[in-house]
Homo-oligomer: A and B are copies of this chain.
């Protein structure tokens, strides 16, 4: 069994360590949204661009490149004309999303209450 406290002892959260690097990739503004979309299954570039509302081509490209390099997302380029490229989670990516989705869903369900706390919202959930 591994706890946060134990990991911290070993320096797993030091300033330039790999944990922080992965955290930055995976918990980034767009990284989270792309990963959530891919947790539904395989998607093409154009689908991702449409489904992750607001993302620019530049950010989609760099986010995907990062996640592919990290072995979290798999890129499959079919040799057709016109090009056809698909993205899906690797097994590691599915493992990751098994842990992330409960968190995302918890946040999504309570988000309205949370941002409303300081501004008079509906009474508290929970």
* A interface residue numbers (CB < 8 A to B): 2-5, 7-8, 10-19, 21-24, 26-29, 32-33, 36, 39-40, 51, 53-54, 69-72, 91-92, 95-96, 99-112, 114-119, 121, 124-126
Copy number in this complex? Answer: 2
User: 12 extra interchain contacts, Cβ-Cβ under 8 A, other than A12-B111, A27-B27, A69-B118?
Assistant: A2-B108, A4-B108, A7-B105, A8-B36, A8-B51, A17-B124, A18-B115, A21-B115, A22-B107, A69-B119, A92-B126, A96-B107
Could you tell me if A107 and B26 are in contact, using CB atoms closer than 8 angstroms?
A: yes
Q: Which of A2, A16, A104, A107 has the most CB of B within 10 A?
A: A107
